[in-house]
């Protein structure tokens, strides 16, 4: 323990300060204000209105999801409450800085500069979400040094993958069911498999919850649940698509809650509700609604997506998590495969169906705008 403390005292501060110093240098070289935030240019442009004030409420919602929602959702573990909230802040703070650079280099680099605007901040938060999802799979098994290295690597791979999927292949994934949720979940499971130790099978006494830890986790659930429509609609470019994203997500989440509660009670011999299901499976509808969020799937389509995701997620927590731990040697601490992995795949399938059904009759003049 003494040698470990000395190791941490040196390794973590050196790595953190070095990374921050490198980022400051890179920001000095590449990052500048967007025209709307640049005093030299903002007052010359009197015709176009900057979207900042229109988009900022959505950015606030996404920001709360990242720093409060994800952090508190993982506090259900009685031994790792501080780790979940504290390391969540560490990962997110570093991740959004690196995410701004990676997204900028791939999408917005012009004349050697990356102009940062409100959409840059939202996309940086999105890239951070992938790491926080992966963090849920390895909570309690990693050090801050490992988390910083994972954040650096994962956001780099995420940005390249997103550029390939949405930029080059032109796949429509506005709510990022596939590029954020499924990617983050399976990346985290891969890391968990690499870091697996036989002793983890005997550490289940540390994985239990107590009354107040479950209560704190419900805070995270409620923040995520309330703000998920903003997560899907924040970067939708056309107003009617943004409107649909909010409506479809709203109903998908609602259907998922009812389904998760019902199935949780059904799967228990005494008909009791399992707090793990209530805290996590109730959010699967938000994950699954992402890819088709701005499509003309109608409210019943949103309800159907949420209903399906609620069933799959709850069954996953009940049956798949133990199989992963004891048969596949994958220790999924927070069950990210059930909340983000499988619902992310469902979201991708829903997006395929939604895109296949798209027609001029259904969308009118908005067809090319929705599917550019």
Task: Give the model's pLDDT for residue 82.
Answer: 84
Spatial CA neighbour of 140 closest among 69, 205, 64: 205
Phi and psi at residue 113, in whole multiples of 5°?
A: -130, 150
Task: Give the model's pLDDT for residue 63.
Answer: 96
Residues 82-115 as b or e (16 or more Cβ within 10 Å = b) = ebbbebbebbbebbbbbbbbbbbeebbeeeeebb
Task: Give the model's pLDDT for residue 43.
Answer: 73
Cβ neighbours of residue 270 closer than 8 Å, sequence gap 6 or more:
none
Per-residue pLDDT of the chain (372 residues; tens, 9 = 90+): 445 555 677 899 999 999 999 999 999 999 999 988 877 777 776 556 678 888 999 999 999 999 999 999 998 887 778 888 999 999 999 999 999 999 999 998 999 999 999 999 999 999 999 999 999 999 888 899 999 999 999 999 999 999 999 999 999 999 999 999 999 999 999 999 998 876 655 455 566 778 788 898 999 999 999 999 999 999 998 999 999 999 999 999 999 999 999 999 999 999 999 999 999 999 999 999 999 999 999 999 999 999 999 999 999 999 998 898 888 888 888 999 999 999 999 999 999 999 999 999 999 999 999 998
Spatial CA neighbour of 247 closest among 283, 282, 281, 297: 297
296 class by beta-carbon count within 10 Å (0-12 exposed, 13-18 middle, 19+ buried): buried
Cβ neighbours of residue 265 closer than 8 Å, sequence gap 6 or more:
271, 272, 273
Query: Please, what are the domains in the chain?
Result: 2-370 (1.10.3430.10)
Which letter does DSSP use for residue 296 in this model? S
Spatial CA neighbour of 209 closest among 302, 280, 106, 295: 280
Under DSSP, is residue 114 helix (H, G, I), strand (E, B) or coil? Answer: strand
The CB density around residue 372, as the number of other CB atoms within 10 Å, is 9
Task: Give the model's pLDDT for residue 2.
Answer: 47
Task: Give the model's pLDDT for residue 328.
Answer: 87
Dist CA 284 CA 266 (whole Å): 18
């Amino acid at each position: 323990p003494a040698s470990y403390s000395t190791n941490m005292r040196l390794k973590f501060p050196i790595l953190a300060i070095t990374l921050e110093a490198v980022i400051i240098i890179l920001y000095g070289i590449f990052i500048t204000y967007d025209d709307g935030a640049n005093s030299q240019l903002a007052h010359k442009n009197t015709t176009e209105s900057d979207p900042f004030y229109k988009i900022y409420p959505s950015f606030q919602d996404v920001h709360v999801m990242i720093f409060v929602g994800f952090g508190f959702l993982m506090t259900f573990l009685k031994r790792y409450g501080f780790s979940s909230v504290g390391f969540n802040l560490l990962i997110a703070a570093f991740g959004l800085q690196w995410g701004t650079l990676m997204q900028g280099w791939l999408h917005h680099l012009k004349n050697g500069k990356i102009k940062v605007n409100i959409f840059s901040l939202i996309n940086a938060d999105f890239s951070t979400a992938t790491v926080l999802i992966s963090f849920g799979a390895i909570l309690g098994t990693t050090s801050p040094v490992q988390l910083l290295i994972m954040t650096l690597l994962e956001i780099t791979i995420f940005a390249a993958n997103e550029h390939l999927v949405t930029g080059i292949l032109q796949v429509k994934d506005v709510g990022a069911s596939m590029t954020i949720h499924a990617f983050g979940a399976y990346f985290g499971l891969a890391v968990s498999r690499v870091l697996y130790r036989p002793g983890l099978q005997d550490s289940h006494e540390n994985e239990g919850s107590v009354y107040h830890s479950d209560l704190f986790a419900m805070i995270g659930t409620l923040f995520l649940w309330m703000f998920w429509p903003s997560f899907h609609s924040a970067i939708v470019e056309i107003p009617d698509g943004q409107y649909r994203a909010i409506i479809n997500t709203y109903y998908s989440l609602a259907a998922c809650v009812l389904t998760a509660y019902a199935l949780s009670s059904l799967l228990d011999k005494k008909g009791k509700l399992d707090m793990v299901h209530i805290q996590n499976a109730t959010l699967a509808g938000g994950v699954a609604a992402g890819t088709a969020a701005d499509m003309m799937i109608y409210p019943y389509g949103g309800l159907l997506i949420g209903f399906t995701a609620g069933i799959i997620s709850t069954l996953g927590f009940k049956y798949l998590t133990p199989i992963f731990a004891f048969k596949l040697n994958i220790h999924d601490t927070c069950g990210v495969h059930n909340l983000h992995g499988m619902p992310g795949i469902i979201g991708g399938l829903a997006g395929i169906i939604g895109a296949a059904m798209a027609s001029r009759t259904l969308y009118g003049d908005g067809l090319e705008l929705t599917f550019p």
